[in-house]
């Protein structure tokens, strides 16, 4: 499918070649401060990027923004294959990543010749070097004047973030951790989160259905939260608490109630430690006022970490 011709750029932050002008670039750079602390990604051998437990990167090395960048961004966001992307997509919602993974697992077209599996990665953005920019997809769409209509309207890019380059684990810095979707399922994913088995074939309709069904769930069992915490321990120790918090936040748990935070911290999540990055780079703000699994996740994670740190300081002050 051929890309459409470039639009009139007279009222945008682009120059006549399609490159970002200073004002457009500054606005795009400013959007980096809105990227949440944790991002998730579903990947498999058929993904458009190169992924492993050591590094996740685009198939072609990133280059400075120029006249070609608009076409690369447009092709990437339209799931095109005509141009090799220099970006890697992540999402702020573990629900979105799980739906992608389960759909891929169910697909008759999925082939795993290398037996590498379909995986869910979780990334700590605070550990990524500033030289590897991460942008909200909507900010890139606005910067490059991509229209919010067909074919984009069938996708919700508010959940999507694009890494311009690679992220790499080192012996001294665990920036991300990975777990196969088969391990989630073996640990009881479908018994805790039954709506994930929804047969809806349309990707975003399925995401919305799963989100709504989980929100309407009337009872959250202690056994389910304990199972979630156990499931999360399969990740690297620095990511167990974030993953447990993200999974719990998909359920109708009121993360505004201090009593709930205390029970989760002292009982269900007792064996999960505060990530080292939280001790060195505390987070003092939440991402948006809306009540969805993303805002609940960050509120829960921040509240548990703050409670643990306050309790530790109180013990040291005795």
Residues linked to residue 51 through DSSP beta bridges, in sequence order: 56
Q: Name the least confident of 50-54, 209-213, 264-268, 284-288.
A: 284-288
Report the C-alpha gap between 260 and 254 in whole angstroms: 7
Mean pLDDT taken over the chain: 85
| pLDDT for the residue numbered 169 | 95
Report the C-alpha gap between 189 and 87 in whole angstroms: 30
Is residue 192 within 8 A of residue 227, CB to CB? The reply is: yes
DSSP assignments along 244-271, one per residue = HHHHHTTS---TT-HHHHHHIIIIITTT
One-letter-per-residue 3-state SS of 210-244: HHHHHHCCCCCCHHHHHHHHHHHCCCCCCCHHHHH
**What percent of the chain has a predicted confidence (pLDDT) above 90?**
56
Query: In the predicted model, what is the mean pLDDT of residues 256-260?
Result: 94
Token look-up 């077209």 returns 109
Angle of helix 240-248 versus helix 94-106 axis, rounded to 10: 90
Cα-based distances in Å from 61 to 56, 69, 87, 129: 12, 13, 9, 16
pLDDT at 114 over 70: no
Instruction: Give just the sign of the alpha carbon dihedral 54, 59, 61, 62.
Output: negative
| pLDDT for the residue numbered 117 | 84
| pLDDT for the residue numbered 7 | 38
- Torsion of Cα atoms, 71 then 77 then 82 then 84, to 10°: 80
pLDDT at 3 over 80: no
| pLDDT for the residue numbered 101 | 92
Summarised one tens digit per residue, pLDDT across range 164-189 is 999 999 999 999 999 999 999 999 99
Q: Name the least confident of 120-129, 200-209, 220-229, 247-256.
A: 200-209
Summarised one tens digit per residue, pLDDT across range 31-40 is 999 999 999 9
DSSP assignments along 7-55, one per residue = ---TTSSB-TTSPBPHHHHHHHHHGGGGS-SEEEEEE-TTSSEEE-SSE
Report the C-alpha gap between 88 and 72 in whole angstroms: 12
Summarised one tens digit per residue, pLDDT across range 303-312 is 999 999 988 8
Query: In the predicted model, what is the mean pLDDT of residues 152-161?
Result: 73
Strand, coil or helix: 170? strand
**pLDDT tier at 94, thresholds 50, 70, 90:** very high
Strand, coil or helix: 90? strand
Element (H, E) at 68: none
Query: In the predicted model, what is the mean pLDDT of residues 106-113?
Result: 62
| pLDDT for the residue numbered 18 | 47
pLDDT at 14 over 50: no
| pLDDT for the residue numbered 5 | 44
**pLDDT tier at 17, thresholds 50, 70, 90:** very low
More confident residue, 286 or 270: 270
Summarised one tens digit per residue, pLDDT across range 196-236 is 988 777 888 888 899 999 988 878 899 999 999 999 999 99
More confident residue, 292 or 289: 292
Is residue 230 within 8 A of residue 188, CB to CB? The reply is: no
| pLDDT for the residue numbered 81 | 77
Token look-up 């932050």 returns 13
Report the C-alpha gap between 275 and 263 in whole angstroms: 19
Query: In the predicted model, what is the mean pLDDT of residues 118-127?
Result: 96
């Amino acid at each position: 499918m051929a890309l459409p011709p470039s639009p009139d750029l007279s009222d945008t932050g682009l120059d006549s070649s399609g490159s970002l002008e200073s004002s457009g670039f500054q606005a795009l750079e400013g959007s980096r401060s809105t990227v949440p602390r944790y991002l998730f990604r579903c990947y498999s051998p058929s993904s458009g990027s190169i992924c492993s437990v050591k590094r996740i990167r685009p198939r072609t090395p990133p280059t400075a923004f120029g006249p070609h960048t608009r076409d690369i961004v447009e092709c990437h966001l339209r799931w095109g294959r005509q141009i090799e992307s220099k970006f890697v997509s992540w999402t702020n919602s573990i629900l979105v990543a799980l739906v992608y993974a389960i759909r891929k697992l169910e697909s008759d077209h999925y082939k795993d010749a290398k037996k590498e599996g379909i995986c869910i990665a979780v990334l700590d953005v605070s550990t990524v070097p500033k030289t590897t920019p991460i942008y909200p997809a909507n900010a890139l769409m606005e910067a490059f004047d991509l229209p919010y209509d067909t074919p984009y309207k069938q996708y919700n890019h508010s959940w999507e973030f694009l890494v311009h380059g690679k992220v790499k684990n080192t012996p001294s810095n665990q920036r991300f951790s990975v777990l196969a979707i088969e391990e989630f399922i073996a640990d009881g994913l479908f018994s805790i989160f039954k709506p994930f088995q929804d047969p809806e074939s349309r990707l975003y309709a399925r995401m919305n259905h799963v989100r709504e069904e989980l929100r309407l769930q009337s009872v959250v069992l202690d056994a389910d939260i304990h199972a979630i915490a156990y499931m999360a321990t399969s990740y690297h120790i620095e990511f167990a608490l974030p993953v447990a918090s993200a999974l719990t936040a998909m359920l109708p748990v009121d993360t505004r109630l201090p009593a709930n935070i205390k029970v989760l911290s002292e009982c269900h999540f007792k064996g999960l430690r505060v990530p080292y990055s939280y001790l060195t780079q505390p987070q003092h703000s939440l991402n948006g006022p809306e009540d969805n699994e993303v805002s609940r996740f960050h509120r829960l994670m921040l509240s548990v970490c703050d409670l643990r740190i306050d309790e530790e300081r109180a013990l040291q002050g005795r």
